[in-house]
Amino acid sequence: MKPIIAPSMLSANFGHLDADIHMVNESTAGWFHLDIMDGVFVPNLSYGFPIVKKIKESAEKPLDVHLMIVQPERYIADFKSAGADILTVHWEACTHLHRTLHAIKNEDMLAGVALNPHTPVAFLEDIITDADMVLIMSVNPGFGGQKFIENSYQKIENLKNLIIKKNSNALIEVDGGVNLETAPRLIKAGADVLVAGYTVFSSKEPIKMIEQLRN
């Protein structure tokens, strides 16, 4: 089964956002990936509810929203209202992760949990059956265009084994350094969803690039 490609809108041209939304709609991408940063959990700021709502107005595919923020549980209903279909929170940001994942599901969104590069997959053992998706950060979060962390392949394999062991249905998503070189190895390791920002939006033929990443 081919992976879902989720172009990261953080790399889009915000001066011509409508054109980039249209491009993703016309492509074989499965989701829009939206990174929300607060300048606290990660050392950068991105966009907030108005941009999420703007993308939702024109998007013909689900919005995959990744919260790189502290206290994400405070904003679950707000992101649902803004248009999120999938909401991912960081293991490192949630004191009560089980409660937060179920709060997301209660808002009729898919619930994801993200792991920073230094966080072991084993920490998900007691929560993996509650998550619809696990996002493996294959770069340190906060900035686009970073170098891929090679240990990510083994981490994905470990996660896949945990999912099988626990009879979970969680998808595996990977964000960071996804390109034509890393994508085949990520898929082979067990990735179901590939987030690609710079690789897609810097391409002269982004629709063709999205299709190449799937194969």
Active site residue 64: no
The residues facing 32 across adjacent strands are: 63
List the beta bridge partners of residue 6. Answer: 195
What does DSSP say about strands 110-115 and 193-196: parallel, antiparallel, or unpaired?
Answer: unpaired
Under 8 Å between Cβ of 127 and 105: no
Which position among 20, 35, 132, 192 bears the catalytic label?
35
Q: Which residues contact 163 (CB under 8 A, 6 or more apart)?
A: 128, 134, 169, 170, 172
Q: How many CB atoms lie within 10 A of CB 207?
A: 15
Query: CA 192 to CA 171: how far, in whole Å?
Result: 6
Among the listed residues 38, 132, 175, 192, the single catalytic one is 175
> Strands across the sheet with 133-137, in order?
4-7, 193-196, 171-175, 133-137, 110-115, 86-90, 63-68, 32-37
Active site residue 38: no
Catalytic residues, by residue number, are: 35, 175
